[in-house]
Structure 1
Amino acid sequence: MTDNLEHRMFLGRVVTSDDFSTDKSLVQVGGIWYRYDLSDNSTYDDQAQYSVVNNTGNTLHLQKIK
């Protein structure tokens, strides 16, 4: 089991389009900018909300909330 800051503090947190950088390359969670991967390999949807489901290093794994 991963036990790091991101896993303890951000797992399950919801992010919206306001949390993404203008070029959509980074996402801000808890005041910190992270790289991200979408869990289903989909493309970014600015109308969707995403949940933090995991992390690897400084990359957050996001899943679209349906």
Structure 2
Amino acid sequence: MAEEMTTFLLRLPSRLKTQLEQRAKQENRSLNSLLITLIERELQPSKPAASLEHRQFLGKVVASRQIDPGNGLAQVDGIYYRYLIEGNAGFQAKKDYIIIEANGNILTLRPVEL
């Protein structure tokens, strides 16, 4: 069962936001995923890592043939997940995608730039 999510406004210096965005990009993750991980580590250092999907899938490349835009599913390691594409971009059949966030049964994908 997925945990209920919430949102809030966070103000921080532009330089910190830039540094966080750079780190997230280096780790092939979304900024949201990076922040959740950093906050969880700080608040609960002894807590085990996040979900299987979060631990195993971040940074994994998904070939376009594994994505079915008709039903909104992507197959990863034999399991079908719902997916979103970063920035609400449309699916491009000639591109592969990298998983940048896993939240419950929803993966966030970013097109792989060659």
TM-score (norm 1): 0.89
1:41 corresponds in structure 2 to: 88
Q: Which runs of 5+ in 1 are unaligned?
A: none
Say which is worse superposed, 54-63 or 21-30, in terms of deviation: 21-30
Contact 2:83/2:106 (<8 A) preserved: yes
Q: How does 1:54-65 map to 2 (within 5 A)?
A: 54-65=101-112
2:99 corresponds in structure 1 to: 52
Q: Which runs of 4+ in 1 moved over 3 A?
A: none
Q: Of the two structures, which has the highest relative contact order with CA contacts closer than 8 Å and spacing of 6 or more? A: 1
**What is the one-letter code of the residue matched to 2:96?**
Q
Structure exhibiting the larger radius of gyration computed from Cα positions: 2
Q: Which runs of 5+ in 2 are unaligned?
A: 1-36, 38-48
Task: Kindly state the Cα deviation for residue 22 of structure 1 after the two structures are TM-superposed.
Answer: 6.4
Match of residue 9, structure 1, among 52, 56, 69 = 56
What is the rounded CA distance, in whole Å, between the counterparts of 2:68 and 2:85 in structure 1? 15
Task: Kindly state the Cα deviation for residue 61 of structure 1 after the two structures are TM-superposed.
Answer: 0.5
Identity %: 36
Q: What root-mean-square deviation, in Å, do the aligned CA atoms of Structure 1 and Structure 2 show?
A: 1.5
Say which structure is richer in strand.
1
How many equivalent residue pairs? Answer: 66
2:68 corresponds in structure 1 to: 21
What is the rounded CA distance, in whole Å, between the counterparts of 1:22 and 1:39 in structure 2? 14
Pair 22,60 (structure 1): closer, same or farther in 2 beyond 3 Å = closer
